[in-house]
Copies of this chain bind each other. A is one copy, B any other.
């Protein structure tokens, strides 16, 4: 049915192996042969069968993306689409396709990843999250399968791309301190997520550097990443306590937090949070300064790094792969 490499070879009067070499632009083929073969390929509307190629070459040009257990909470978070865009862009540039893990619970996600790895469906994997005791991460690592984690992996020597979360939160807290705030609240999230702990550390460090005495009542942690959680929490805090300002560890929570605050208080409370992207397109978020985490770079950097990991593996080279993406405080 479809035109194969043999058909092209016959019509061009060369061997199939020559056609392959032309497709891959091998330097050992003469210019003349290349032109002839290319002409025939165009004429016959030839396209290589990628399954055959993958089988023979043991390379797929596909990267698998591992998502967290996800309800809408993850997908709705602006972090997700922005990282995706970075991955997408880098993938297009390097001619790699992206395959998604399916399933929302651990079990189906795990079997989805196993299919990819054992079935040789992908050349490597990118984890879009980092959490403690992740059986999927452990499995892939133990298989010595190429991977990169976006975030801080809980196992050593796993390649990763991350922000400097501790420094970032420290900078954010110092920003508020410099503005004169003293009693600053920290609105955290799921402490299973490493970045929450890192940001909390940076928050505390900033206070300690300034010799400000704080206690646990300044920290609101162990909550899920949902706007309504921020909303309810803000209402509670606004009614019961007094703070000068807040560091909110998650952007999605912050949207709810600000709304909740407004709903019960006339005073505007300074909030600083961490944004997945330069949000000049969201004017109603413009009111507060924020830390730009450059999520787009996280995605792009992860894919580019994975390609290096794969290449290094082919050459059996040992490397340490890790990269930190810069952040910046944006005032509007």
With A75-B84, A231-B284, A259-B284 given, name 8 new contacts (CB 8 A).
A51-B55, A73-B281, A75-B81, A75-B82, A76-B81, A91-B100, A92-B112, A256-B283
Give Cα A178 to B94, complex, Å. 56
Shortest Cβ distance from residue A224 to the other chain B in the assembled complex, whole angstroms: 10
Copies in the complex: 2
Chain B CB within 8 A of A96 CB: yes
> With A and B bound together, what is the CA distance between A70 and B88 in angstroms?
10
Taking a contact as CB atoms under 8 Å apart, the answer to whether A102 and B112 are in contact is no
Kindly identify which residue among B51, B55, B98, B102 contacts A91, using a CB–CB cutoff of 8 Å. B102
Q: List residues of chain B with CB within 8 A of the CB of A282.
A: 227-228, 256
CA distance A321 to B331 in the complex (A): 52
A13 on the B face (CB < 8 A)? no
Instruction: Give the docked Cα–Cα distance between A89 and B2 (Å).
Output: 33
Contact A100 B100 (CB under 8 A): yes
Judge whether A70 and B85 touch: CB under 8 Å: yes
Contact present for B97 and A49 (CB under 8 Å): no
Nearest CB to that of A105 among chain B residues?
B92
Q: List 5 A-B pairs, minimum CB-CB distance, nearest first.
A: A75-B81, A47-B118, A50-B119, A259-B284, A92-B103
* CB contact list, A74-122 vs B, under 8 A: 75-76, 78, 80-82, 84-85, 88-89, 91-92, 96-100, 102-104, 108, 112, 114-116, 118-121
Q: Do most interface residues of chain A lie in helix, strand or loop, or is the interface mixed?
A: helix
Check B100 against A88 for contact (C-beta < 8 Å): yes
- Select from chain B the residue with minimum beta-carbon distance to A81: B75
- Answer yes or no: A62 CB below 8 A from chain B CBs: yes
A129 close to B (CB within 8 Å) = no
Q: Chain A, interface size: which category? A: 35 or more
Given contacts A55-B49, A76-B78, contact A97 B102 (CB under 8 A): yes
From B50, B103, B277, give the contact of A72 (CB < 8 A): B277
25 A-B pairs with C-beta separation under 8 A: A47-B118, A47-B119, A48-B118, A51-B60, A72-B277, A72-B281, A73-B281, A85-B104, A88-B100, A88-B102, A89-B104, A91-B100, A91-B102, A92-B103, A97-B99, A97-B115, A97-B121, A98-B100, A98-B102, A226-B281, A228-B282, A228-B283, A256-B284, A260-B283, A260-B284
Closest residue of B by beta carbon distance from A226: B281
Taking CB as reference atom, which chain B residue is nearest A256? B284
CB closest chain-B residue, reference A78: B76
A51-B49 CB under 8 A given contacts A75-B81, A112-B92, A228-B281: no
**In the complex, which residues of chain B have a beta carbon less than 8 angstroms from the beta carbon of A2?**
118, 120
| Minimum CB–CB distance for A110 against chain B, Å | 11
